[in-house]
Amino acid sequence: MSTLNRDYERFAKEAKEICKDRV
């Protein structure tokens, strides 16, 4: 479960970066 949480955290960070790049 911790691995999944870590993957989700990384995905959230990437998504935030993409959103910032888009705006």
The pLDDT, as a whole number, for residue 15 is: 93
Q: With a threshold of 0.75, does the pTM exceed it?
A: no
pLDDT tens, residue by residue, 1-23: 688 999 999 999 999 999 888 77
**The predicted structure's pLDDT at residue 8:** 94
Q: How far apart are CA 11 and CA 2, in angstroms?
A: 14
**Predicted local distance difference test score (pLDDT) of residue 21:** 84
> What is the pLDDT at residue 20?
87
d(CA 18, CA 11): 10
pLDDT for 2 equals 80
CA distance 10 to 18: 12
